Amino acid sequence: MELKNQTAVITGAGKGIGRSIAEALAAEGVHLGLIARTASDLETLRTELSDKYGVNVFVHAADVSIRTEIENAVQALHERLGAIDILINNAGIGSFGKLVEMDPDEWERIIRVNLMGAYYTTRAALPFMIEQNSGNILNVASTAGERGFATGSAYCASKAGLIAMGEAVMQEVRKSNIRVVTLNPSTVNTELSIQNNLPVGDEDRMMQPEDVADLAVATLKLPARVFVKSASIWTTNPQ
């Protein structure tokens, strides 16, 4: 399916996977609405992508875990873009520790960003897709949502919730020609992984953000009559 001149809203667009997806979509001629908490990251990316690919790029700083902020951001970007054909729920955080040792406020913060943030964003964007009778929603979850691990109770719960939410929303909206896809990468060489001392290894062998972006674009380019419900992506030979 041709992506050129479609529009996409991406959360967590300033760094890592979100940034790579933004560039991959810009290379396909997609006009972008980018959301992140850090305005300077967004402005840098806006200039870079608009100059390099000649697409329209609009930005809006917002915290996805604050409902009013993300609702205002989605509304503003819809007005600038004129439509929302693609929504990428990518914003996420992670920290790890044993359940009884992690501060409950930190545990809740991970749920609010990773799960509630995707819910708030989807809830804000979905009416536009239903009205136009078409759309694509890609949720960037994790293999951690498919299988729990010690010290990951909050992160795993947030990603498992996102996987389940995507499945339920898919069943609600597929009759409106809206495709809901969940991408489940294992450990990716991003700032989140580095900050948490996860094994990112050699760049030539470890999964990179652009690998996830390539998968995202591939799912979007499938014929409109079909979609990938979920796809897990793993490093072939990790160190």
Write the CA distances from 4 to 27, 31, 32, 135, 221, integer angstroms: 9, 8, 11, 14, 10
Q: Which of 53, 119, 120, 155 is catalytic?
A: 155
Strand partners, 139: 89, 182
Q: How confident is the model at residue 189 (pLDDT cuts 50, 70, 90)?
A: confident
CB 57 within 8 A of CB 32: yes
Can you list the alpha helix ranges (DSSP code H) found in the chain?
Answer: 16-27, 39-53, 67-81, 104-111, 117-132, 153-173, 191-195, 209-220
- Tell me which of 3.40.50.720, 3.40.50.620, 3.90.180.10, 1.20.1250.20 is the CATH number of domain 7-224: 3.40.50.720
> Is the four-CA dihedral 61, 66, 72, 73 of positive or negative sign?
positive
What is the pLDDT at residue 85?
Answer: 98
* Structure confidence by residue, pLDDT tens digits, 141-166: 999 999 999 999 999 999 999 999 99
* Structure confidence by residue, pLDDT tens digits, 108-120: 999 999 999 999 9
In this predicted structure, the answer to whether residue 201 has a pLDDT above a threshold of 80 is no
* Residue 155 annotated as catalytic: yes
Element (H, E) at 9: strand 7-11
Can you list the alpha helix ranges (DSSP code H) found in 133-208?
Answer: 153-173, 191-195
Categorise residue 135: left if φ over 0, alpha if ψ from -120 to 50, beta otherwise. left
Q: How confident is the model at residue 228 (pLDDT cuts 50, 70, 90)?
A: very high
In this predicted structure, the answer to whether residue 7 has a pLDDT above a threshold of 80 is yes
What is the pLDDT at residue 145?
Answer: 97
d(CA 219, CA 149): 28
pTM: 0.95
What is the pLDDT at residue 198?
Answer: 66
What is the pLDDT at residue 200?
Answer: 62
Strand partners, 60: 35
Record the tokens describing residue 195, joined without a space.
């900050």
